[in-house]
Amino acid sequence: MPSLLNIPPELRECIIQHVLCSHQMPPETPSNANRVDFEDMDIIWRESPYGIYHEQRGTHSPSNCISLLLTNRQLSAETRSVINRMRSTTTYVLDISVLNELELFPTWVSVPHITNRVSKLYVDVRFFGHILSEKVARYQYNDEDVLGYHWSFYGLLARFLRYGPVDEKKKMSGRQNSSSKKPTTFHDYDVTVNLLVLNFKSAETELSFPPDTVTYQTWRSHHFTPIESRDISPASIDLEKYTTRPEWFSTFLFHEIKSFLSMSYLGSFYGRILYERIGAIRILVNENLEHEFDLSSMLASLRFTGPWETFGHIENEDRLSAFWNWKRQTLMRRDQLGFPVVRAEDLELA
C-alpha cells in the first residue's frame, strides 16, 4: 500500500500545502461547551460584565502543521520548506461569535501554520442573540469610559499581535510571586499583519432587527449614556427584544479604533501596537467595505506640541521626546516590514 512518503515529491507537496491551508467549520451557535475564560490577557476590562472564552482543544491541534512537523525528519523538513514559501501569502481566519452583545467566542477557523509575519488576518464577527439589556448596559458607562465591549475586541487583537493564533499561553516561568500584584507576563512573539479585515454580519435566526425608527445614535445611547441622562426615542421600544444591526457595531468599533490611533493622552498606550504591527485595517459589513484606516498617512500626520496631548502613560517631562522617538522608530519599523509608509517631514524639526 503506497504511503505519503512513497508518492512523488510534487504530489506530496500539494498535499502538505492543502493540509496547512485547510479550514474547519465555525461553531453553529456560541456555546460555553468546551470553552473557558482567557486568563492570559490584560485585565483592563476584567471589571466589566463581558466574557471572552477560548476553546479547549483536546481533539485537534491549534495549528495544522504540528502533526506534519512531528511525524519524521523528512516530512518535517518538507513541511518547513512549504511553510517558508508560503510566508508572504499567509492568511489566518478567525471567527468571533458574539452572544447578546456581551460574550465573545473566538474560534480559529484556519491556522495554516505558525509564523509571526501574517499577510492577512480575516475576522468574521457574527452576532447572535439580543441587544444588550438595560440592566447590563448601565455598567457600560463610567468616568473613564473604559467598560465597553470595544475593550474585549481590542484585547483579542492585542493578544494575537503578541502571541499569535494559539491556545491560552503558559507562564514564562513555572513560578509567580503570589504576593506580587503585577500581572503575569508572557513571551511576546511580535506578530505583524499586513492587512487586518473585520467583517461584521448577523447570524441570528429568531430575532429581527429593530424598526427603522431606531437609529445608530439610539442604540449607542442605550449602551453608553447613564440611565438618568438617556433620551431614547421612541421610548416605548424595548431594544432587548431585537438583535443588533452589524453596521452599528462596525461603526462604533471604527470610532473606537480611530480614537486609539489618534495617540491621545490616554489612547496612545493602546494605539502604539496597532501602528507598529498592522499595515492596514478594513472594516466590512456583510463583505462590503464600510471603513478603512490608512495607517501610514495617519502616522505621518501625528503631531503634538504639549505634554498634555499624548503619551500620558509616562512622566510629564519625557512625553514629547518619547513620542517623537517612537514615531521615528515606528516609521523605520514599518518600512522594514514592507508596510505602507508616508514620509513625515516633521521629524526633521522635532
- Do strands 192-202 and 51-55 pair parallel, antiparallel, or not at all (unpaired)? unpaired
Q: How far apart are CA 53 and CA 305, in angstroms?
A: 42
Please give the C-alpha separations between residue 60 and each of 34, 37, 55, 105, in angstroms, as whole numbers.
13, 19, 11, 18
Q: How far apart are CA 103 and CA 125, in angstroms?
A: 12
- For residue 131, what is the DSSP state? P
In this structure, the dihedral spanned by the alpha carbons of residues 48, 38, 279 and 200, taken in order and rounded to 10 degrees, is: -60
pLDDT score at 326: 95
Q: Per residue, what are the HEC states of 287-324?
A: CEEEEEECHHHHHHHCCCCCCCCCCCCCCHHHHHHHHH
State the residue range of the domain holding 115: 33-61+90-293
- Do strands 278-285 and 192-202 pair parallel, antiparallel, or not at all (unpaired)? parallel
pTM metric for this prediction: 0.84
pLDDT score at 284: 98
Give the gyration radius of the chain's Cα atoms: 22
Structural domain includes residue 150: yes
Q: How far apart are CA 127 and CA 98, in angstroms?
A: 5
pLDDT score at 59: 46
Are 103 and 27 in contact by the 8 Å Cβ rule? The answer is no
Cell readout for 43 is 485585565
Q: How far apart are CA 61 and CA 67, in angstroms?
A: 8
What residue type is assigned to position 200 of the chain? F
pLDDT score at 128: 96
Structural domain includes residue 6: no
Are 291 and 282 in contact by the 8 Å Cβ rule? The answer is yes
H-assigned helices in the chain? 9-20, 66-71, 73-86, 134-137, 150-163, 216-224, 246-261, 268-277, 295-301, 319-337
Domain count for the chain: 1
- pLDDT tens, residue order, the chain (350 aa): 567 777 888 888 888 877 777 777 888 888 887 777 776 665 444 455 567 877 766 544 455 666 777 778 888 888 888 877 776 678 889 999 999 998 889 988 887 667 888 999 999 999 999 998 877 776 665 545 555 677 888 888 988 998 888 766 655 544 444 344 444 567 888 999 999 999 999 999 999 999 999 999 988 888 776 544 545 444 557 889 999 999 999 999 999 999 999 999 988 999 999 999 999 999 999 999 999 999 999 999 999 989 899 998 888 889 999 999 999 999 999 999 999 999 766 665 45
Structural domain includes residue 308: no
Kindly list the strands in the beta sheet with 103-110, ordered across the sheet, starting from the edge strand earlier in the chain: 35-37, 51-55, 103-110, 91-99, 117-128, 192-202, 278-285, 288-293
pLDDT score at 200: 97
pLDDT score at 231: 52
3-state helix, strand, coil in the chain (%, to 5): 40, 20, 45
Structural domain includes residue 54: yes
Q: How far apart are CA 210 and CA 234, in angstroms?
A: 11
- Do strands 91-99 and 103-110 pair parallel, antiparallel, or not at all (unpaired)? antiparallel
pLDDT score at 167: 67
pLDDT score at 182: 45
